[in-house]
Structures are given as structure tokens and as C-alpha cells.
């Protein structure tokens, strides 16, 4: 039982390049989330999903797209990376209803955009 895993762990991009971050969970959770963490700003929600095939915008969605084609996977895409997207990205998952109270986090992906 690996919990929440994220791929890759670290990536360097040039401005304008694209990439996809993969989040996978093996807990059969309905809800999945993508956050970014920046110094002095705490974690901010980018996008989230309340079930397979659904996505919704969070607090800071601009410049990102997401897809939830399979229940266990949640992909975060950057179509044209910008230096402002340099950050640490965390994926989380939770059950639904009362079980959504506890979110389980992955280890993070550190992204540097030059």
C-alpha cells in the first residue's frame, strides 16, 4: 500500500516548455487535489476532483490543466511553463463525505522553471 505517489520528484523546465505531473493513489479515494507550496504563502489549491471524470478549479488555477481519466490518477499539466510556476507541487487524496476530512499527501514534486 504505497498511499499517494508523485512522479517526477524533481524537474527543471525552460520557459515555454510543457510537462505533466502524475499523481497516483491506491486507497480507492474519490477526491484528489493538487496544491502548490511557495515560501511565505502556505499551500494553495490549484485544481481538485470529486470523482473520476470530474475536475474543478481551486484558488490558483491559471496556467494549469488537470485530468482525472482514472479514479486512481490525477494529472496536472503545464502547457507553457513560466518562472512564476517554480514551486513545490503536492498531490493529496481523500475519501468522500466524512472521510474527506482527512487528506493524505504525496511527497511532492519540486519544479524549477528557468
Partner 1 sequence: KQEVTQIPAALSVPEGENLVLNCSFTDSAIYNLQWFRQDPGKGLTSLLLIQSSQREQTSGRLNASLDKSSGRSTLYIAASQPGDSATYLCAVRPFPNFGNEKLTFGTGTRLTIIP
What is the three-class DSSP state of 87?
A: strand
Judged by CB under 8 A, the residue of 16, 59, 70, 114 near partner 1 is 59
67 touches partner 1 by CB under 8 A = no
**DSSP symbol at 89:** E
**DSSP symbol at 27:** S
Q: Which residue, 106, 111, 51, is CA-closest to 85?
A: 111
Size of the site for partner 1 (CB under 8 A): 26
- Taking CB under 8 A as the binding criterion, the range among 14-22, 48-56, 63-71, 77-85 that sits at the site for partner 1 is 48-56
Nearer to partner 1, 17 or 103 (CB): 103
Residue 63 has phi, psi (to 5 degrees) of: 90, 0
Q: Are 55 and 47 in contact (CB under 8 A)?
A: yes
102 touches partner 1 by CB under 8 A = yes
Which positions lie near partner 1, rule CB under 8 A? 4, 31, 33, 40-45, 48, 50, 56, 58-59, 90, 92, 94, 100-108
Amino acid at each position: 500500500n504505497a498511499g499517494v505517489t508523485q512522479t517526477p520528484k524533481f524537474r527543471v523546465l525552460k520557459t515555454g516548455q510543457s510537462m505533466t505531473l502524475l499523481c497516483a493513489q491506491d486507497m480507492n479515494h474519490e477526491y484528489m487535489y493538487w496544491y502548490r507550496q511557495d515560501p511565505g504563502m502556505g499551500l494553495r489549491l490549484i485544481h481538485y476532483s470529486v470523482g473520476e471524470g470530474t475536475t474543478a478549479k481551486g484558488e490558483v488555477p491559471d496556467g494549469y490543466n488537470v485530468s482525472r481519466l482514472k479514479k486512481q490518477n490525477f494529472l496536472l499539466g503545464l502547457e507553457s511553463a513560466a518562472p512564476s510556476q517554480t514551486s513545490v507541487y503536492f498531490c493529496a487524496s481523500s475519501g468522500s463525505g466524512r472521510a474527506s476530512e482527512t487528506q493524505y499527501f504525496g511527497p511532492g514534486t519540486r519544479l524549477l522553471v528557468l
